[in-house]
Amino acid sequence: MAFSWDDSRRAFADAADWFTRTAALVGDRWERPALGEWDVRALVGHTSRALLTVETYLARPAAAVEVASATDYFRATRAAARGEEVAARGRDAGTALGPDPERAVAVIAARVVPLVDTQAGTERLTTIVGGMRLSDYLPTRTFELAVHTADLAIALGVPPDAPPTAAAQALGLVTELAVADGLAGPLLLATTGRQGLPAGFSVL
C-alpha cells in the first residue's frame, strides 16, 4: 500500500503525539505489568526506540538500498524480534528514560518529529537489516508506535484509540504482510466476523 511522504510524516507525527499523551497518563504505575515480561516502564522504553532509531539511523547514511520496503523490513527482522535481546533492550531503554520517563518521552518526540519534517524521504539510512530509504523505514516506526501505544493503553485501562492516520498506515502494513505470507484468508474471515483467528496468529 503506497503512502505519500507527506502522509507518512503526518502518520508518524500523530503516532508520536498519541504515544506522548498516553505515556503522560502513567502516573505512578511504571512498575505495573504491561506486555509479556515488560512492565510499563520497559514497554514505554521500547516504544521510545521507535523514535530514537530514526534519529540514530539518519546519522548513519547508507551507501545503497538493501531493503526495499517496510514489509521487507519486518520480514527480515522476524527472528531478531522474538529474541531475548529485544526484551533486554526494552528494559534498558526504560531505565535510560531516567527518573521522569514522561518528560523524557516528550523531549524525545519534540526532537525527532521536527527532524523528520526536515527530511525529503529519499535519505538513505543504515538499519539493523541494511540500507533503506527513510520513506520506506518511517512506516515501520509508525507501526511500532501505534501497536505499542495500544499495548500501553490497554495496560493503563484506557481505550486504544489510535489516530486514523497512524492506524491506516499500520493496518496497511498488516495487510501487506498477511498477503505476502499467505495469511490473508484467516485475516479476512476474522475481520468480517466469520471466525476468530487461530491461536498464536501473527503477521510478524
Segment 98-112, tens digit of pLDDT: 999 999 999 999 999
- Is residue 139 over pLDDT 80? yes
- Is residue 85 over pLDDT 80? no
80 within some domain:
yes
- Is residue 131 over pLDDT 90? yes
CATH number of the domain at 22, please.
1.20.120.450
As a whole number of angstroms, the distance between CA 177 and CA 129 comes to 17
Write the CB contacts of 186 (distance below 8 Å, at least 6 apart in sequence): 195, 197, 198, 201
SS3 of residue 126 by DSSP: strand
Domain tally, the chain? 1
196 within some domain:
no
CA-CA-CA-CA torsion for 172, 119, 131, 176, nearest 10 degrees? 10
Write the CB contacts of 190 (distance below 8 Å, at least 6 apart in sequence): 196, 197
202 within some domain:
no
pLDDT of residue 108: 98
**Which H or E run includes 21?**
helix 5-23
CA-CA-CA-CA torsion for 116, 119, 120, 126, nearest 10 degrees? -80
Band (pLDDT 50/70/90 cuts) for residue 86 is: confident
Q: What is the mean pLDDT of the chain?
A: 94
Predicted confidence (pLDDT) per residue in 1-52, tens digit: 678 999 999 999 999 999 999 999 999 999 999 999 999 999 999 999 999 9
13 within some domain:
yes
- Is residue 81 over pLDDT 80? no
DSSP 198: P
199 within some domain:
no
Identify the domain containing residue 69 by its residue range: 5-183
192 within some domain:
no
Nearest to 170, CA basis, from 132, 190, 142: 142
pLDDT of residue 2: 72
Q: Per the confidence metrics, is the pTM higher than 0.85? A: yes
SS3 of residue 93 by DSSP: helix
